[in-house]
Amino acid sequence: MIIFLQVAAILIIPYLIIRFKEFKLTKMVGTIGMAYLLGLIVALVLFLLTLVDVNIILNQDAGEIISFSAIGIGIPLLLFSSNLKEAKKLSKMVIKSFLILIISVVVVTAIVFYTYAKNIDNGAVFSAAAIGLYTGGTPNLNAITNIFGLDSNLIALANLSDIIIGAVFYVFLLTLAKPLLHKIIKKKKTDSYLKESSEMLNQEEFNLKDFKTNKSLVIAFIYAVLMAIISALIGVIIWVIQGSQQGRMFDALVPALLIGVTIFGIIASFKKSIRETKGTNVLGHYLILVFSFAIASSVNFNDLTGDFSKLLILYAVITVGAFALNVFISSFFDIDADCILVCSTAGIYGPAFVPAITKQIKNDSLTVPGLIVGSVGYAIGTFLGVLLGLLFML
């Protein structure tokens, strides 16, 4: 009975989050953030029940199977709809702005790691996750932490830290950032953010009432499943080559799965028939929410340590530091304040948060460039984070 309720909650709650995505708190922390918050609430309730001798134990195997299956299939589905070819239409200003953001994130994260995070348990992984997180959004954090085999409790803590810091910083971006930037950046805004008109659409603007299964969507889903299976098999083969050590198969399988589906998803996105299949973004987003809720709800509060406060400090310093360095470097280049603000939002939060920022600053001409930049960041963030994570571990 418990496992039935567990599986039902993992599958139904993400649907409800999407169904009611206009809820104020969801708009503030994002749908993925809401999935983690609700999952942590479930975990907290179960923990509090143990204090009164009511023990409800979730099935760990069921949670892991569902969560890894969901993220393995969800990543390529999300990438299918990312029109990366549109990046060639970005103006030099937008490209420079996004490159400066990436450089700022890498530099600040490296400095924070070598001065602070290297003394934290799993500091190299958390720092690597920050690089993926602040160049493409939360899905990259989840991919990187899983690739490096981080415990689900720690993954949930990293996400919770990001939710708290991210929510506060997002309010800053919406309210105080533009007036502050205009005092530092003197260049006036321009309309030349694209070299030519773009076909890029906001994949986060979807209505469940319009979601319909069709032959093309079923085929795209099958492609994603096959990509996940092939990637997982590669991981198993690597494990066998390494000696088939008992209990260590997941050490090879998970990294191969997540890196493999990311590569396959990017490649498939260049095929027009796959890229333009309606519904892949909704289905992929739903599966990422399934993963997020499953991981968060499985947290054991008895196992939590003092890492949370350290993570809050780590992500707060990287967030503020990277933004400050980004603004400082950009002040020496021909980049206006609006462009800096939108590219920063696209990198730190992903494409979903771009339209709200462009509406707030009254510059709709940056919406499409922001969506393109966010998609590129999502595609490269995982690889960049893993690369730097390996360097930190040295």
Chain segment 71-95, per-residue pLDDT in tens = 999 999 989 988 788 888 899 999 9
Can you give the length of the chain in residues? 394
203 pLDDT higher than 60:
no
For the segment 16-63, what is each residue's pLDDT rounded down to a tens digit?
Answer: 998 888 888 887 778 888 898 898 888 888 888 888 877 777 777 777
Collapse the DSSP code of 75 into the 3-class scheme (helix H, G, I; strand E, B; otherwise coil) and give the result.
helix
Tokens 């409790």 -> residue: 153
Mean pLDDT for 318-346 is 93
Question: How far, CA to CA in Å, does 101 sit from each of 148, 202, 319, 326, 328?
Answer: 24, 22, 11, 5, 11
Mean pLDDT of 98-103: 96
Domain boundaries, the chain: 85-280+300-393
What pLDDT was estimated at residue 382? 92
Q: Which two tokens mark 393?
A: 């571990």
Taking the model in full, what pTM does it have? 0.85
Give the C-alpha distances (Å, rounded to integers) separating 110 from 104, 122, 234, 326.
10, 15, 31, 15
Least confident piece of the model among 48-52, 303-307, 370-374: 303-307
Contact between residue 199 and residue 83 where contact means Cβ atoms under 8 Å apart: yes
Calpha distance 392→125 (Å, rounded): 8
* pLDDT band at 329; cut points 50, 70, 90: very high
Higher per-residue pLDDT: 370 or 199 = 370
Asked if 348 contacts 139 with a C-beta cutoff of 8 angstroms, the reply is: no
* 53 DSSP assignment: T
* pLDDT for the residue numbered 12: 94
Helices (H), the chain: 2-19, 24-50, 60-80, 92-115, 123-136, 138-147, 152-175, 177-184, 215-241, 249-269, 272-275, 280-297, 307-330, 337-349, 354-360, 367-393
Q: Which helix (H) or strand (E) holds 112?
A: helix 92-115
Q: Which of 49-58, 324-333, 352-361 has the highest mean pLDDT?
A: 324-333
Give the residues across from 90 on adjacent strands.
194
